[in-house]
């Protein structure tokens, strides 16, 4: 079933990164297998004698996906705004995955600089995809600043720890029902992605878990299927947990209906 991301109709709820793959060929295979329609890229300073940038871009272009440039590595609102403007010119898109980091150790977003950069970029006409923590008030401030999308982390980038704070993420979903919420970063296993989707998140963005798998192409398929399974589960409605067991097989007409009540086993 298709959905809307920043005004674009997509079939996949998987957004995938283009970094860390063993080779461009494997990157292409993994992105194709993921069926993700949005691919994140970056801008980097490069010697003109090295043509890697052009070669990389040709590989990405060949996939015919929507491009989501990032501002990875920026530690100030000013640098992030400048990087976003350069990305808009190079990639010809007003989409920007806004990363403004505040801590080098765990690559945690700087909420204050993130909000400052968000306001400036929205004023400049960008569609901002802010990489944020799972902090509710930050997410609300980003939405109030004009964000249609917020991307809370599951865990710090590249850790593969999954959803560290399910409580906070569920609260985000409940409090921002009209905002597109995408889990970005920290997922390690397809089950993590499935869990995020079961919570009702609109999509999942990840890179390392696929790119650094022993078989990135197979892992891309696994995440693709996990995301679908989780979304289907959310739409179907996950049952409420109970404290007490409840037999799924009818009790009426049990063959051993006459056995001692104190020794009766329950049906499964």
Residues 196-215 that bind other proteins (CB under 8 A): 207-208
Q: How far apart are CA 166 and CA 183, in angstroms?
A: 11
Considering only 88-96, 138-146, 189-197, 247-255, which stretch makes contact with other proteins by CB under 8 A? 88-96
Q: Crossing angle, helix 111-123 and helix 136-144, to 10 degrees?
A: 20
Q: Crossing angle, helix 24-34 and helix 216-236, to 10 degrees?
A: 20
Considering only 80-88, 109-117, 189-197, 257-265, which stretch makes contact with other proteins by CB under 8 A? 80-88
Residue 229 token pair:
């399974």
Q: How far apart are CA 135 and CA 169, in angstroms?
A: 9
Backbone angles phi, psi at 4, to 5 degrees: -110, 130
Total residues belonging to the chain: 268
Binding mask 103-142 for other proteins (x = CB under 8 A): ----------------------------------------
Which of 5, 87, 143, 183 touches other proteins (CB under 8 A)? 87
Annotated binding-site residue? 148: no
Following CA atoms 59, 98, 189, 169 in sequence, which dihedral angle do they give, to the nearest 10 degrees?
-150
Which of 1, 2, 7, 47 touches other proteins (CB under 8 A)? 47
Q: How far apart are CA 16 and CA 219, in angstroms?
A: 12
- The strand pair at 8-10 and 3-5 is best described as antiparallel
Considering only 34-42, 110-118, 165-173, 215-223, which stretch makes contact with other proteins by CB under 8 A? 34-42
> Is 70 a residue that touches other proteins (CB under 8 A)?
yes
Annotated binding-site residue? 179: no
Query: For the purposes of burial, counting CB atoms within 10 Å of the CB of 120, is it exposed (0-12), middle (13-18) or buried (19 or more)?
Result: middle
> Is 28 a residue that touches other proteins (CB under 8 A)?
no
Decide whether 86 or 251 has the Cβ nearer to other proteins. Answer: 86
246 among known catalytic residues: no
Residue with tokens 């079961």: 198
> Is 48 a residue that touches other proteins (CB under 8 A)?
yes
Task: Give catalytic residue positions.
Answer: 97
Question: Footprint of other proteins on this chain (CB under 8 A)?
Answer: 17-21, 27, 40-49, 51-54, 56-57, 60, 69-70, 72, 82, 85-87, 89-91, 157, 185, 207-208
Binding site per annotation, positions for 1-deoxy-D-xylulose 5-phosphate: 158, 185-186, 207-208
């Amino acid at each position: 079933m298709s959905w809307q991301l920043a005004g674009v109709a997509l079939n996949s709820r998987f957004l995938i990164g283009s970094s860390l793959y063993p080779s461009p060929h494997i990157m292409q295979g993994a992105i194709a297998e993921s069926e993700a329609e949005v691919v994140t890229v970056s801008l980097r300073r490069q010697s003109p004698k090295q043509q890697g940038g052009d070669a990389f871009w040709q590989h990405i272009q060949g996939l015919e996906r929507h491009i989501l440039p990032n501002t990875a590595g920026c530690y100030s609102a000013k640098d992030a705004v400048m990087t976003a403007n350069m990305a808009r010119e190079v990639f010809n898109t007003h989409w920007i995955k806004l990363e403004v980091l505040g801590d080098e150790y765990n690559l945690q977003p700087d909420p204050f600089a993130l909000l400052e950069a968000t306001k400036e970029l929205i004023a400049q006409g960008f569609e901002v995809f802010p990489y944020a923590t799972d902090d509710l008030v930050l997410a609300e401030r980003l939405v109030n600043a004009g964000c249609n999308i917020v991307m809370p982390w599951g865990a710090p980038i590249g850790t593969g720890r999954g959803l560290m704070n399910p409580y906070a993420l569920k609260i985000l979903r409940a409090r921002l029902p009209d905002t597109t919420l995408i889990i970005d970063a920290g997922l390690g296993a397809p089950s993590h992605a499935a869990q995020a989707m079961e919570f009702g998140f609109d999509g999942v963005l990840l890179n390392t878990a696929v790119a650094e798998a022993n078989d990135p192409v197979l892992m891309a398929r696994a995440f693709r299927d996990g995301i679908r399974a989780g979304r289907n589960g959310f739409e179907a409605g996950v049952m409420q947990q109970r404290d007490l067991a409840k037999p799924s097989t009818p009790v009426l007409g049990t063959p051993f209906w006459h056995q001692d009540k104190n020794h009766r086993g329950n049906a499964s």
